[in-house]
Amino acid sequence: MDLIFLLQDVLNGILMGSIYGLVALGLTLVFGVLKVINFAHGSFLMVGMYVAYWVVALTGLHPYPAIVLVAPIMYAFGYLLQQWLIRPIFVAERDVREPITVIIVTTGVWYVLDNLALLLFGPDYRALTPNPLKGEMIEMGEILISTPKLFGFIITMITAGGLFWFLQKTRMGRAIRATSLDRDAASLMGISQWKIFNVAFGIGTAIAGIAAVVLVPVYNVYPTVGVPFDVKSFVIVVLGGLGSIPGALLGGVIIGLIESIGPNFMTSTWTEAIVYGLFLLVLFFKPSGLFGQKYDW
């Protein structure tokens, strides 16, 4: 195999993997604070992609500046969903650290959102027209780099760095970390765990919105577009460690490299088998994940 082609596949795998990590970042934040897996995360991504699509189509903005509109909209969507739908379950099961009912409800939200999108927008695939990033490549010698994926990598690093700074340096961020470690002790210190849950869920959903903006230039938008990303996000979060920000990014890169390099040596079916085989091995030998630890942050 030509070394240039291998290097290009490695680079593309890292870039695409970073975008996978960005999608999973919101999921791992929600788990770190609420201690439940949000199975509707892929549907939130789908909603974000529709929002990004319509924002760009109606305003004529370049896709990436649309983040300043999409992220707040998705934050409000996640905040209100947590406040009105998920919070009552936590209140009813306040003595349960990881209420299974929330998982069931988020699964229901997944199906409701996907079918609602199908009802409102139909099954048609939608793509940005015109798309200023379509087919854009950057040449580095003999290596070609996808411009949208490169921008996606940059946005991922900025988002992850911003989230880390927010959690470490701000008053709200420290309150979120305190609640993730011990919600009862945080409540005794005057922190409203319900507000923290709403804010964390809103931030996780806003990150899904940012990922949606990154994906819109390279993916068609349709009602079930979030399903494969939902599954990948769950695998990534388990690989990297539930609640770990670096783990989400590393897990995404691992998946991206397997998907990019694997087809050079085997069929795509086998690459999927390797991904899920690795997922099972991590669950068996290190259930906490690569960056898993006793505490979540």
| DSSP-derived pairing of the beta strands 143-146 and 137-140 | antiparallel
pTM for the model stands at 0.92
Query: pLDDT, tens digit, for every residue of 216-274?
Result: 998 999 999 999 999 899 899 888 887 788 889 999 999 999 999 988 887 777 888 88
Query: pLDDT, tens digit, for every residue of 132-141?
Result: 777 788 887 7
From residue 93, alpha-carbon distances to 73, 89, 109, 135, 210 in Å are: 29, 6, 19, 50, 32
Reading phi first (left if > 0) and then psi (alpha if -120 to 50, else beta), residue 135 is in left
Distance CA 44, CA 55 (A): 16
Beta bridge partner(s), residue 144: 139
Query: pLDDT, tens digit, for every residue of 108-151?
Result: 999 999 999 999 999 999 998 878 777 788 887 778 888 899 99
Least confident of 12-21, 96-105, 184-193, 256-265: 96-105
